C-alpha cells in the first residue's frame, strides 16, 4: 500500500466499484455510501463526514468514511470502510482502521462506534472488528429486516 490520503474526485468511481464488487452491500446501501461520498467531495462547507483512501499502485484501493456523532462530545461514527476485493486480506482495511482511530484521537475523540449486520456473510467483518479490539456493545434484533440484527461495535480510544 502506497499510503492513506484524503479522497479526491478521481477516486469516486474506483471506490464505488469497490463497494459494488465486494458483494457485501445492497444497491440501496451503495446509494447511501455514494450520497456521503458526494457530500464530502462537493459540499466543502460540510463538517459531518471525512473520507480517506488507501492507495495501491497509485489507485484508490479502499476507503474509510467517518465523522463526529452529532450532539456528543468526543464520540465518532465510522460509517463506511471498504477495500477492493482483489486486495483484501493484505492489511489495507486494518491500516485504514488504525489511521481513523489515530485521526479521531488527534481530534480529541475517545469513542469510536461502528455498526454492521448480523448476517452470516458479515462474519468476516465482525471478526475483523473483534480482532482489532472492538466489542459488541449492543444488538438490536430485526433492525435491518427480520432475522438481521444491527450489531454496534465500540472501541474506547
Q: What pLDDT digit, counting tens, does each position of 78-124 carry?
A: 999 999 999 998 999 999 999 999 999 999 999 999 999 999 999 99
The single residue listed with the C-alpha cell 475517545 is 110
Residue 2 has pLDDT above 90, yes or no: no
User: Nine-digit cell at 108?
Assistant: 480529541
Q: What pLDDT digit, counting tens, does each position of 24-77 carry?
A: 999 999 999 999 999 999 999 999 999 999 998 888 999 999 999 999 999 999
Tell me the mean pLDDT in the region 1-15: 93
CA-to-CA distance for 18 and 82, rounded, in angstroms? 7
CATH number at residue 11: 3.40.630.30
The pLDDT value given to residue 1: 59
Residue 7 has pLDDT above 80, yes or no: yes
Helices (DSSP H) in the chain: which residue ranges?
12-21, 27-42, 92-106, 123-131
Task: Decide if 143 contacts 114 (C-beta within 8 A).
Answer: no
The pLDDT value given to residue 57: 85
CA-to-CA distance for 118 and 126, rounded, in angstroms? 8
Which residue range is the domain that position 37 belongs to?
3-156
Task: Decide if 96 contacts 64 (C-beta within 8 A).
Answer: yes
CA dihedral 58, 55, 38, 150 (to 10 degrees): 150
Residue 5: C-alpha distances to residues 54, 65, 94, 155 (Å):
7, 12, 15, 23
Instruction: Specify the pTM.
Output: 0.94
The pLDDT value given to residue 122: 94
- Look at 47 and 1; give whichever has higher pLDDT: 47
The pLDDT value given to residue 6: 97
Q: Give the count of domains, the chain.
A: 1
Amino acid at each position: 500500500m502506497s499510503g492513506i490520503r484524503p479522497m479526491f474526485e478521481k477516486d469516486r468511481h474506483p471506490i464505488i466499484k469497490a463497494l459494488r464488487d465486494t458483494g457485501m452491500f445492497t444497491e440501496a446501501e451503495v446509494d447511501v455510501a455514494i450520497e456521503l461520498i458526494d457530500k464530502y467531495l462537493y459540499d466543502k462547507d460540510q463538517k459531518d463526514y471525512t473520507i480517506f483512501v488507501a492507495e495501491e499502485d497509485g489507485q484508490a484501493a479502499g476507503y474509510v468514511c467517518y465523522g463526529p456523532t452529532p450532539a456528543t462530545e468526543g464520540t465518532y461514527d465510522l460509517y463506511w470502510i471498504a477495500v477492493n476485493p482483489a486486495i483484501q486480506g493484505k492489511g489495507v482495511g486494518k491500516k485504514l482502521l488504525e489511521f481513523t482511530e489515530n485521526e479521531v484521537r488527534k481530534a480529541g475523540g475517545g469513542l469510536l462506534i461502528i455498526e454492521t449486520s448480523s448476517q452470516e456473510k458479515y462474519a468476516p467483518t465482525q471478526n475483523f472488528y473483534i480482532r482489532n479490539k472492538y466489542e459488541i456493545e449492543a444488538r438490536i434484533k430485526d433492525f435491518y429486516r427480520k432475522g438481521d440484527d444491527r450489531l454496534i461495535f465500540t472501541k474506547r480510544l
